[in-house]
Amino acid sequence: TFTPRVFSGIKPSGGLTLGNYLGAIKRFVDMQGGEFETIYCVADMHAITVWQDPEELRQATREVTAGFLASGIDPESSVLFNQSRVSAHAELGWLFNCVARVGWMNRMTQFKDKAGKNAEKVSLGLYAYPSLMAADILLYHATHVPVGEDQKQHVELTRDIAAKFNHDYKVDFFPACEPVIEGPAMRVMSLRDGTKKMSKSGESDMERINMTDDADTISKKFKKSRTDPEVLPEEMEGLANRPEARNLVNIYAALANMTGEEVLAEYGGQGWGKFKPALAELAVEHLAPISTEMKRLMDDPAEIDRILAKGADKANEIAQPILNKTFEIMGF
Ligand code: ADP
Ligand code: NA
């Protein structure tokens, strides 16, 4: 049996969005200090699967760290570190490249989406990304992996790698980790197109809420978000074919720690003139203090680097024995 342990990470590939916050960071905070040990990683080695300017990468690593801290990740009660500082990630990633099958990678929908028609030109790292992600998780024998819905297939691949390793080497060494995908915010969509994921790299800044947006910007973006002419229904089923409306209700629910049904019990029958200002106000109340604290933390990059270095020491203490044992099992 394995210690109940949570692992998750975020790539420093640009600024953090409300999707990262509600789909990941807020849930990481909720899981901290309870039944689980919690380990959170700034996945800088994943970021370079696509080109990153070195100075921007350094800045983004600090910004993601500031986002974690400002949102309530406590480096005393969680392990908070950046991936490149714990070399066992790269080492186990290589070992898993030799366990995972090419056919498994070929089925990854995120690779197909990101590579598009350009599959011959993208980095080999982008293709092998899920194998490094499996290493991130299994290096800590993590049992639970909170992620947004877009990462579900990669967590399933992690289970496949663990199972094949255990089978091939006749051991019971790596746990079968569970993806934890729940709540109304597992898929936060663009504010301009309810069928597209809100992401760091969307074309227009109006599509997304950045965690560093100030109160006026947050408010303006929600008020100008795309919707439809209908009033809100009484039940979630009424939103089935209204992706923009459903997205705003889900965002409200996630921010207020409510279910979509509870939000509609309050706002069903109301129009956007009532709901959008309420949502904007809720979002500002929740996010503005976080963005203020992020800016304060970013003013002292040396302190952020110290926190990450201490976190890396703690991460290494767990990771190194597991890596050593893996080498031994494999015959090194
Ligand atoms: P991104 O997807 O923003 O490039 P990552 O791949 O590093 O960044 O994602 C970090 C975490 O944030 C993952 O768990 C991912 O599922 C979650 N996430 C990212 N965007 C969203 C979104 N729009 N809705 C819900 N979760 C999201
Ligand atoms: Na992602």
Task: Assign residue 26 a region (left: φ > 0; alpha: ψ between -120 and 50; beta: otherwise).
Answer: alpha
The residue nearest atom 21 of ligand 1, judged by CA position, is: 19
Between 297 and 202, the higher pLDDT residue: 297
Active site residue 117: no
Global model pTM greater than 0.90: yes
Per the annotation, where are the binding residues for ATP?
A: 11-13, 19-20, 148-150, 188, 197-201
Q: Which superfamily does 5-180+301-330 belong to?
A: HUPs (3.40.50.620)
Structure token pair of residue 148: 């947004």
User: Per the residue annotation, which of 26, 152, 164, 200 is the catalytic one?
Assistant: 200
Percentage of the chain with pLDDT > 90? 95
Tell me what the mean pLDDT of segment 218-235 comes to. Answer: 96
Active site residue 197: yes
Query: What is the C-alpha to C-alpha distance for residues 222 and 79, in angstroms, rounded to an integer?
Result: 34
| 264, 232 Cβ separation under 8 angstroms | yes
Q: What's the complex ipTM?
A: 0.94
- pLDDT at position 263, please? 98
- pLDDT at position 202, please? 73
Percentage of the chain with pLDDT > 70? 100
Q: What is the pLDDT of residues 59-94, one digit of tens each?
A: 999 999 999 999 999 999 999 999 999 999 999 999
Active site residue 274: no
Query: What is the C-alpha to C-alpha distance for residues 42 and 39, in angstroms, rounded to an integer?
Result: 10
- pLDDT at position 118, please? 87
Ordered strands of the 5-10 beta sheet = 78-82, 37-42, 5-10, 144-146, 178-180
Burial status of residue 187 (CB atoms within 10 A of its CB: 0-12, 13-18, 19 or more)? middle
Q: Which superfamily does 205-296 belong to?
A: Tyrosyl-Transfer RNA Synthetase (1.10.240.10)
Three-state secondary structure call for residue 17 = strand
Give domain limits for the chain.
5-180+301-330, 205-296
Structure token pair of residue 201: 């790299």
User: What residues are in contact with ligand 1 under a 6 Å CB criterion?
Assistant: 10-11, 13, 19-20, 23-24, 147-148, 150-151, 185-188, 197-200
Most distant CA atoms of the chain, gap in Å: 66
Q: What is the pLDDT of residues 116-138, one digit of tens each?
A: 998 899 999 999 999 999 999 99
Tell me what the mean pLDDT of segment 6-26 comes to. Answer: 95
